[in-house]
Amino acid sequence: MLDLLAQLVSIRSLSREEHACADFVEGWARDAGFSPQRIANNIVFVLGSGGPRLMLNSHIDTVPQCSGWLADPWTPRIEGGRLTGLGANDAKGCVTAMLLAARELAEQGWDGPGTLVVLISAEEEIGGENGIQLALSQLAPMDAAINGEPTGLAPCNAQRGMLLLECSSHGNSGHAAHAHKLGLENAVHAAARDISCLSEMQFEPYEEVYVTRPQVTVVKGGLSHNQVPDLCEFQVDIRTTPNLDHDETLAWIRSQLSCDVRCRSARYLPVSTSRSHPVVRAAVAASGRETYFSDTCSDWSLYGGIPTVKLGPGESPRSHRPEEYILESELLAGVEIYRETVLRFFEEAGNE
C-alpha cells in the first residue's frame, strides 16, 4: 500500500504538469485489469454496468514546494508506518485508497448492479480548464459521487464556496499638504470606509451556526508619502455557505459599497447533500462517523450538482505545508471505508 503511494509521490505532478503521473495511473489501471480512458491528464475506468452511477474522484496534482522541507519533497520517506512527501496527504493518499478499493472490489468479483466510475483527475489545485469539468463533460451523467479529500475519514455533506472580488476606490491626486484646502478625495480613505463596511457585514447563517464573513486579503494604494492617492485597490475573499446565492450576494455587496466591484471568480459554489441521500447514509454507516461541514473548497463545487459526500484519509491541516505526511493506518482504513461505502450505496440505491 505504501509502495503504491510512494510511487505516486515520487512523480512530480504540479498542476498542469501531471502527464507523467497520469501515465503511471493509466498503466496501473491497465495492469490491474481495467480498461482506462484518458481525457487530457484525467484517467477514468469503470466497474459494473447500468445504473445507478457512482463516481469515486480524487486528484493527482499538487501545489508547488514550499519552504521548510527537510529533504527533497518528491523523494518519499517511510518511517514507522508514516510516509512523508509532497502530495502524500493532499490528495495522493486518497487516490491510493480509491485505486486499491476499486481493485479489491474487482478481485472480489463485484459487478454491480450499477456502475462504479473511478475518475482520477488533474488541475484540482488551480481549478484548471483541463481538470474535472473537462472529464465530466465527456462522460455519462453521474447519480452520486465520493470526493476524495483528507477529511480524517469523517463524511462531509456540505462545504463552503468561494467568491473572489477585486475592488477599486478612486480619488483625486494632489500634494498631501493641500488635500483639505483643495477638497481632494483620498482613494485610500475611501477604500478604508468600504473595508470597514465589509468587516461589519453579516449574512444569514447556514443551519443557524455557520457564518459568512468577507475577508479583505490584499490592499494596494498610493505612490508617495506626499501625494494624495487617486486609486486604491483591494481584494476580498468570501467563503460562502450553501444558503447563499453568489449572484445575489455580489449584487447586495455592490449596493453597500461606494467602490467599483469586479467579480474575479464565482465558480466555486457552496454545495451540500441531504443527510438522507443514499451516498451520505452509506458513508456514515461505513465510517461510523457523523457528517460535518467543511470550510475548505474542493472539486465538488465543480461537479454540476451531483449529490456528493467528501471523504478521505489524512487530515486537512497537513495539506500545503512542509513535511506533509499520511499514516499507513489511515490508508488501510481509507481503502476499507471506500469499499464499504460503495457496497452500501449500491445496496441502498437498489432498494429505493
Condensed to tens digits (0 to 9), the pLDDT of residues 261-300 reads 999 999 999 999 999 999 999 999 999 999 999 999 999 9
**Amino acid, single-letter form, for residue 31:** D
* Measured CA distances, 211 to 63, 164, 224, 252, 254 (Å): 28, 17, 39, 16, 20
State yes or no: pLDDT of 130 exceeds 80: yes
CB distance 324 to 87 below 8 Å: yes
- State which of 238, 268, 298 marks the end of a domain: 268
Residue 351: its pLDDT value, please?
A: 67
Residue 187: its pLDDT value, please?
A: 98
Select from 139, 114, 115, 111 the least CA-distant residue to 42: 139
Per DSSP bridges, beta strands 231-238 and 271-272 are: unpaired
Q: Does 126 lie in the same domain as 36?
A: yes
CB distance 156 to 292 below 8 Å: yes
- Residue 348: pLDDT band (50, 70, 90) is confident
* Number of domains present in the structure of the chain: 2
Residue 190: its pLDDT value, please?
A: 98
Mean pLDDT confidence for 170-199: 96
Q: Does 311 lie in the same domain as 224?
A: no
Q: What is the DSSP string of 277-296?
A: SHHHHHHHHHHT---EEESS
Q: What are the cell numbers at 281? A: 447514509
Give the integer Cα–Cα distance in Å for 231 and 115.
56
**Amino acid, single-letter form, for residue 221:** G
The whole domain housing 279 covers 2-159+270-351
- Residue 349: pLDDT band (50, 70, 90) is confident
DSSP code at position 88: I
Q: Does 263 lie in the same domain as 295?
A: no
Rounded to two decimals, what is the model's pTM? 0.92
Q: Does 248 lie in the same domain as 121?
A: no
* Residues 210-255: tens digit of each pLDDT: 999 999 999 999 999 999 999 999 999 999 999 999 999 999 999 9
Q: What are the cell numbers at 172? A: 483625486
Mean pLDDT confidence for 144-172: 98
State yes or no: pLDDT of 350 exceeds 80: no
Residue 352: its pLDDT value, please?
A: 64
- State which of 205, 236, 268 marks the end of a domain: 268
- State which of 218, 241, 268 marks the end of a domain: 268
